A and B are shown apart, each in its own frame.
Chain A
C-alpha cells in the first residue's frame, strides 16, 4: 500500500471483516426472500446507528448522523439479494421443477449442488450421465424446463421456496471465493463504513431488496431518504482472462487487482461527472488504486436512485469479481480493501462545494 495512505491511517479490513463477509456469503437471500441476510445486517448495524428501520418492502434503512451541522445527506446502497431459483412445482420422488430468479445462464446449471429453503437442504441439479446420452444431445445445453432440483427422497420443500448454489465461502491466498459475493461485498462494505463512519456527512445506508429482478427495493429506499447524492456499492464482472486466440481482450469490463471499478456509464445511469472526478481525484491524491469500468450494459441500484424525486447526483463503485452470476465468484481482498478505502476517503472529503462545481 502507498505510504501516503498509511499516513492517513486508512482503516483495514481485517480478520473480523472477512469473517463477516463469510457469514454474509454463506447466507441465502434470493430476491424477495432476503430475511437471512437482513438479520445479519440488523445485528451488525444496531450498535453503530442513530436510526434503523425496515421499510415496507424489506429494505434496511440506516441513518448515522454527522457531527457537523448542515451536513450533506449521502446515500449508499448495496443490495442484499442474490440470484437463485424458486421451486415452482413438486413432482414425485423429491424432484422439483424450478424457475430462475435474476440473471442466470441456464447452460451453467447442470451438475450443480444447491441449497434449498430456509434449512439449506442439500439438492442437486442433475442430468443423465454421459453413458446414456448420444453425441448430438451433448452438443446442446439442456433447457430449463427439462431440469429438476433433486432433493432426494427425504427432502421436503414446498412450492415458492428459494434455492441457491451450494458454495461455501473460502479465502484462498489473495482471493475471496464464494457465492453471492455479488453483492455481499457491497453489504459488508456498507457495514464496515458504518463502523468507521466519516463524521462529516449524514450517512444514509440502504441495504436493499430485489435488485436482481429490477432495482425494485432501492426505488422506495431512495424516495424515503431523499438524499443530496448517492453511491451504489456493488460487484461487477471481471472478464479479464486472456483471449483464446491471443488477440487483445478489449471487452474485459474490469480487471481483478485493478482496484475499485468506478462507473462512468452503464445501461441505467450516466454517473454524475463531479462524482467521477471527485472519486478519481481522491484515488490519485491518496494513492488508492482504482479503475474505470468499461462503459456499456449492466446496471446497479444507482439506475433507480438518480431519477428519484427531483433527481439525485449518483455514481456506482464496484468490487471486481470473476464469474459473476454463477455458482462462484472470485474477488480479491486487495480490491475490496481499496474499494472500502476509496469510499471512506471519498465520503470524508465531500462537502457542498463539490456540488456547486460545474459538471
Chain B
C-alpha cells in the first residue's frame, strides 16, 4: 500500500520534460554514470537515443522531472559524476524547443 501511495503521489505531482544532450569522446561507462545520477534525482527517462559518430559519443535523452527540479544543479552533478570523461552537457526545458520549432 505504501509503495502504491508513493507511486500515486509521484505520478500526480506536476511534471515537466527536460531535454538532455551529451556530446564528447566515447568511453566505457558514460551512460552508467549518467543514469546513476538520474536515479539519485528520481528522474524518469522518457526517451533515449545514443550514437557513436567517428568515436564521438552523442546522447539525447528526454527526462521527465518534477516541476521544482533545479536544472542548473542537475547539470552540475552530471558534470561532477562524469568528470573522468571529456563531455559537454546541455540541459534545457522542452518549452525552448517548442518555441523555436513549432507554431
A binds B: no
Query: B interface vs A, CB < 8 Å?
Result: none
